[in-house]
Amino acid sequence: MGCPSNWCSVGKAKIDITQESVERAFLVAVAPKRTTDRWSANDSLQELAQLAGTAGAKVVGRLVQRLPVPSRKHYLGEGKLAELLSLKGSTKYNVVIFDDELSPQQQQNLEDFLQVKILDRVALILDIFAKRARTREGQLQVELAQHQYLFPRLAGQWSHLERLGAGIGTRGPGEQQLETDRRLIQRKISRLQEQIEQVRRHRLLYRQKRQKSGIPVVALVGYTNTGKSTLLNALSQANIFAEDKLFSTLDPTTRRLTLPDRSPVLMTDTVGFIRKLPPTIVTAFRATLEELAEASVLIHVVDLSAHNAAEQCQAVEDILTDLNLTDKPRITALNKIDLLLSNDKKWSEEEALNYLSDRPVPLSDPDAIGAVLISATKKWGLTRLLELISHTLSQTLSTV
């Protein structure tokens, strides 16, 4: 199948040379026929749409197929794949984004069949991280994750040479170039790992110095876009970039603030979690996530206005379990309560908290010390949150 005139081919990677300002993305997911997962395929695709929007794409269509497992060849079954191709003319999509990580072979097969750029959820998240990373540390971590993602996908990048046919000049260059690329990326990965290890040692020295000061650390954790940065801004009068988009901030930020009992504390905002968080991200951000291990208390910030708040909460708990952090004292901050109130009344903080405190909350975290209703935007409930942090720290530090 020939390439469209506005596409140039570099190996199997096809690059759109028209440089449209906004890419038109079609989203695709496979939903298991039977699953105990509380996330629906529609919820997952809605989150994928948010990720695509954050990356700057316009979503022009969605498709879900129910299969026991995704097809090893094309992810989709033959019928749905043909349907996806038929929708190309009416939607004019120029990129298809899949809700799961594709194998290198699946990605190549899909590019050959659909003749558009193919991305999976991992590549999309990595692209957003690359766009959002502002510090040198964050940029190093993202670059490492990108190279680790790219490395197994090098195979086939030079197989286009096979189409030249047999004979003089067709033997070897593909394999040689592939091996050259592999060595280059392996060396790049090694250099990035060394640089990140230097960052890790620097962070360790900083934490040791911080520990000698005796000032405890409180770390904010939570699903992406639950309002962690807004909360840190509200508590410390900091000026951290906060935006209503997924992964609006990546780089950890620490601010000093004073608790109601006059004791100082360092509060750290960390990268937001997300369902299907790529393992390469967890590995690359190890130096950053180590901040959580050193914290005396974790504040789990939950977007209470989200219709799947319970599922987001569980996703964070699962990641904390993977990071061996479930034994950390934890407070749940139920954020964005102002979005649960009717707009036909002007609510005061006291009225809002009294009204919502009588309503059942569809969340249960048996490991949490306590839960506090807050609105980081309105600055509601922050006094109670600080009091609970102070009480938790006094209890925690007294047992050390």
Per-residue pLDDT of 274-325, as tens digits, reads 888 777 777 767 666 777 888 999 999 999 999 888 889 888 988 888 888 8
With cut-offs at 50, 70 and 90, classify the pLDDT of residue 9.
Answer: very low
Instruction: Report percent pLDDT > 70 for the chain.
Output: 79
AA identity, residue 63: L
Structural contact between residues 169 and 163, judged by C-beta atoms closer than 8 angstroms = no
- What's the rounded Cα separation, in Å, for the pair 245 and 224? 8
With cut-offs at 50, 70 and 90, classify the pLDDT of residue 129.
Answer: confident
pLDDT of residue 288: 65
Return the closest-CA partner of residue 383 out of 299, 259, 296.
Answer: 259
pLDDT of residue 282: 76
376 pLDDT more than 80: yes
- What's the rounded Cα separation, in Å, for the pair 271 and 231? 14
Of residues 97 and 172, the one with the higher pLDDT is 97
- Mean pLDDT on 22-50: 83
221-280: pLDDT as tens digits = 999 889 998 999 999 876 655 565 566 556 678 889 999 999 999 998 887 888 887 777
48 pLDDT more than 80: yes
Containing 67, the helix (H) or strand (E) segment is: none
- Mean pLDDT on 104-122: 93
pLDDT of residue 17: 37
- Torsional sign, CA 359, 361, 367, 368: negative
Of residues 379 and 1, the one with the higher pLDDT is 379
Residues whose CB is less than 8 angstroms from the CB of residue 192 and which lie 6 or more positions away in sequence, other chains included: 140, 143, 144, 147
Q: Locate all alpha helices (DSSP H) within the chain, ordered by sequence.
A: 41-55, 78-86, 88-91, 104-114, 121-132, 136-150, 173-213, 228-236, 279-284, 286-294, 309-322, 349-357, 382-398
Q: Which of 52-61, 270-279, 362-371 comes out lowest in average pLDDT?
A: 362-371
pLDDT of residue 16: 44
With cut-offs at 50, 70 and 90, classify the pLDDT of residue 90.
Answer: very high
Q: What are 303's two structure tokens?
A: 């977007």
Q: What are 53's two structure tokens?
A: 């929007």
135-164: pLDDT as tens digits = 787 788 888 888 888 888 875 454 443 443
322-350: pLDDT as tens digits = 888 888 899 999 999 999 998 888 999 99
Other Cβ atoms closer than 10 A to 222 = 25
- What's the rounded Cα separation, in Å, for the pair 229 and 238? 9
pLDDT of residue 292: 84
What is the residue-averaged pLDDT of the chain?
81
pLDDT of residue 121: 93
- What's the rounded Cα separation, in Å, for the pair 311 and 298? 19
- Mean pLDDT on 87-91: 95
With cut-offs at 50, 70 and 90, classify the pLDDT of residue 8.
Answer: very low
Q: What are 95's two structure tokens?
A: 């990129």
What are the backbone angles phi and psi of residue 112, rounded to the nearest 5°? -65, -40
- Mean pLDDT on 211-229: 87
- What's the rounded Cα separation, in Å, for the pair 103 and 352? 49
- What's the rounded Cα separation, in Å, for the pair 165 and 184? 28
Structural contact between residues 372 and 334, judged by C-beta atoms closer than 8 angstroms = yes
pLDDT of residue 160: 41
Residue 385 Ramachandran class (φ > 0 left, ψ -120 to 50 alpha, else beta): alpha
